[in-house]
Amino acid sequence: MIPELSPEVVHWPFVATLLRLLLALTVGVFVGLEREHRAKAGARTFACAALVGWAGGMLGDTYALLCLGLVAMIVAFMNLRQVLAQQKLGLTTSLALLLVGLAGVMCGKGHVFTPVALTVLTAGLLAWKQPLSGFVTGLSDVELRSAILLALLAFVIYPVLPTHAIDPWGILEPRSTWATVILIAALGFVNYVLSKVYGPRGLEVAAFFGGLVNSTAAVAELSNRLREAGTRLMGPCYRGVLIATAAMIVRNAVLLGVLAPRVLVGTSLPMLAMLGASLALALVRPPPTPTEPSGEGAGPPLLDLKSPFSLASALKFGLLFLALRVASSLGERLFGTLGFYAATFAGGLVSSASAVAAAATLAGHGEISTIVAGNAAVLAGLTSALVNLPVIARSSPTRAFTRKIGSSVAIVAAIGLAGILLRHAL
Confidence at residue 26, expressed as pLDDT on a 0 to 100 scale: 92
409 vs 40: which has the higher pLDDT: 409
Rounded CA-CA distance 321/348 in Å is 11
Higher-confidence position of 276 and 327: 276
Contact by Cβ (8 Å): 87, 72 = no
What is the pLDDT at residue 1? 43
Task: Write down the domain spans for the chain.
Answer: 7-132, 139-425
Is pLDDT above 90 for 105?
A: yes
Say if CB 100 and CB 49 are below 8 A apart: yes
Residue type, 94: S
Q: What is the pLDDT of residues 182-215, one digit of tens each?
A: 766 666 666 566 656 654 455 677 678 777 777 7
Which of the listed ranges 49-63, 314-328, 362-376, 394-408 does the model predict with the highest average pLDDT? 49-63
SS3 label, residue 49: helix
Query: Which position has the higher pLDDT, 374 or 131?
Result: 374
Distance CA 213, CA 290 (A): 29
If you average pLDDT over residues 317-336, what whole number do you get?
70
pTM of the model: 0.57
pLDDT of residue 133: 65
Q: What share of the chain is helix, strand, coil (3-state, %, to 5)?
A: 80, 0, 20
pLDDT averaged over the chain? 77
